[in-house]
Amino acid sequence: MGAVLFLGAAPAAAASAEVLDVGGTPVGVAVGADGTAYVGNYGAAGGVRVIPPGAPQPSRTISTGNNVSGIALAPDGTLYVAQRDSATGQDVVGVIPAGAAAVARNIPVSRGNHLIAVGPDGTVFVPNPAERTVSIIAPRGSTVDRTVTVGAGPVEVTVSKDGTAFVTNQDDGTVSVIPAGAHTVSRTIQVSSTPGKTENPHGIAAGPDGTIYVTNISSSHVAVITPGADTVAYTIYVPGGPTEAAVGQDGTLYVASALSPALSAITPGATTAGRSIPTENNPGHLAVAPDGTIIVASPGTGANNGSVSRYAPASAPASGSPQHQETPASATAPSGDAAAGLWSSPAGIAAAAGAAAIAVAVLIVAAGRRRKAARRDHVNGTGVGTADPHAANELLRRRPTDQGWTDAGAGSRIEP
């Protein structure tokens, strides 16, 4: 059975719990303008699960290649997936027209996993961690248009409303800025507290006002960059190794912390995190629907036992007892051993005074149901394939290379 977890004073209109059976190893997630969620399967069988708003399970599965690592949705409804061509073994970006049942064409890219992004005009950005570059595919293009050199270990990209791309360079603690149409980086922003030393910036998201948010995993804080700035304006402490971030249309920032595991909400302009709630193990990429619904993909810890959680936020008074409560953290990152902080941070954090709390109905997939989903595909009966969950989890917080996975903190290779 699913479970409902409420945080603080829950409104009467809070959503009921459901179970989302998606099967496979979900990693990438995107949400369309109508609230439809698209979840990529990193498993050997690949595929993108299509989940209509409020549906208890996928309505269909889009056929793709193997190991879907990144997924991005263009404004015209075109879906782009980073995958491996099952016929040739080539790593590609698959192009799926709106409403299509399969990939229409593939665009070859460099070897490795790619956490792709798409701009407002349909331009696709493909970070290449091993090459220190970002490949750019023009709207409706069939090949890579140009390649831009960035920092060391580029892992994720976000694109602001004006088409400017921001790239997290996990190995050198910076963010590269690529203006719309540019062939080179215009500026590089240091997002780790000590120049020349990385705090493993990974997830990145752009707010509706152009503010950029960057998750620094090893220091457990989010760096905030105001529009047009060359430096970090301030940082927000988020415990538990924040890995991924997404911003709602109202400017609320949501941060998934993999080691807590928890989801935190931060209101626009706040310098401290709001209340956090526990999540499934290994919460990964997340996306926010226009109505504020939050979709979180969790790859899981065993073969094909990943899950997708759906959170329905609602306004609630700041008063009330949170699920977890700690002394409010300062707005800056904690000092001391970054690795120790990453592993020992508490699971919850108190709301800032006067901030809006969120009441959340958590859709938790029971372990038995997940195993059942792993044995079959609800949509086409073909089976979901076998994935390496360790590799999928490393994808969320460590840099993929051609030969294996590089530990973000120590620099040692980890085999998938």
What confidence category does residue 304 fall into, taking pLDDT thresholds of 50, 70 and 90? low
For residue range 44-64, list pLDDT tens digits in order. 999 999 999 999 899 999 999
By mean pLDDT, which of 15-24, 215-224, 295-304, 351-360 is the weakest? Answer: 351-360
pLDDT at residue 345 tops 80: no
For the segment 230-256, the average pLDDT, to the nearest whole number, is 96
Degrees (nearest 5) of the Cα angle 313, 32, 128?
A: 105
Q: Report the C-alpha gap between 25 and 38 in whole angstroms.
A: 13
Q: Report the C-alpha gap between 157 and 43 in whole angstroms.
A: 23
Instruction: Pick the more confident residue, 221 or 9.
Output: 221
**pLDDT score for 9:** 29
For residue range 388-401, list pLDDT tens digits in order. 444 444 545 443 33
317 domain residue, yes or no: yes
**pLDDT score for 209:** 97
SS3 letters across 367-391: HHHHHHHHCCCCCCCCCCCCCCHHH
What confidence category does residue 202 fall into, taking pLDDT thresholds of 50, 70 and 90? very high
Q: Report the C-alpha gap between 224 and 344 in whole angstroms.
A: 24
For residue range 140-181, list pLDDT tens digits in order. 999 999 999 999 999 999 999 999 999 999 999 999 999 999
pLDDT at residue 69 tops 70: yes
The total number of structural domains that make up the chain: 1
DSSP string, 248-268: -TTS-EEEEETTTTEEEEE-T
- Contacts of residue 125, defined as CB under 8 A and 6 or more positions apart, other chains included, come to 116, 117, 118, 119, 134, 135, 136, 137, 157, 159, 165, 167, 178
By mean pLDDT, which of 86-95, 276-285, 325-334 is the weakest? Answer: 325-334
Helix (H) or strand (E) holding 37: strand 37-41
391 domain residue, yes or no: yes
Q: Report which residue type is found at 123.
A: T
For the segment 14-35, the average pLDDT, to the nearest whole number, is 77
Q: Report the C-alpha gap between 8 and 314 in whole angstroms.
A: 11
Q: Report which residue type is found at 61.
A: T
Instruction: Pick the more confident residue, 188 or 57.
Output: 188
Residue 203 phi, psi dihedral angles, 5° rounding: -70, 150
- The half-sphere exposure of 254 on its side-chain side, counting CA atoms within 13 A, is 28
**pLDDT score for 382:** 33
Q: Report the C-alpha gap between 308 and 279 in whole angstroms.
A: 10
54 domain residue, yes or no: yes
For the segment 291-309, the average pLDDT, to the nearest whole number, is 82
Q: What percent of the chain has pLDDT over 70?
A: 69
Pick the closest to residue 150 from 119, 124, 179, 175 (CA basis).
Answer: 175
Q: Report, in angstroms and rounded to the nearest whole number, the Rg of the chain calculated over CA atoms.
A: 19
What confidence category does residue 182 fall into, taking pLDDT thresholds of 50, 70 and 90? very high
Pick the closest to residue 89 from 415, 402, 406, 416 (CA basis).
Answer: 402
Q: Are 164 and 177 in contact (CB under 8 A)?
A: yes
Q: Report the C-alpha gap between 172 and 221 in whole angstroms.
A: 16
Domain that residue 138 falls in: 26-402
Pick the closest to residue 25 from 408, 284, 202, 246 (CA basis).
Answer: 284
6 domain residue, yes or no: no
**SS3 helix, strand, coil % of the chain, rounded to 5?**
5, 35, 60
Look up residue 304 and give its DSSP letter. Answer: T
> Which CATH number belongs to the domain containing residue 289 in this structure?
2.130.10.10
Q: Are 400 and 407 in contact (CB under 8 A)?
A: no
311 domain residue, yes or no: yes
pLDDT at residue 295 tops 90: yes
**pLDDT score for 369:** 32
303 domain residue, yes or no: yes
18 domain residue, yes or no: no
For residue range 106-119, list pLDDT tens digits in order. 999 999 999 999 99
Token output for 369: 């149901």
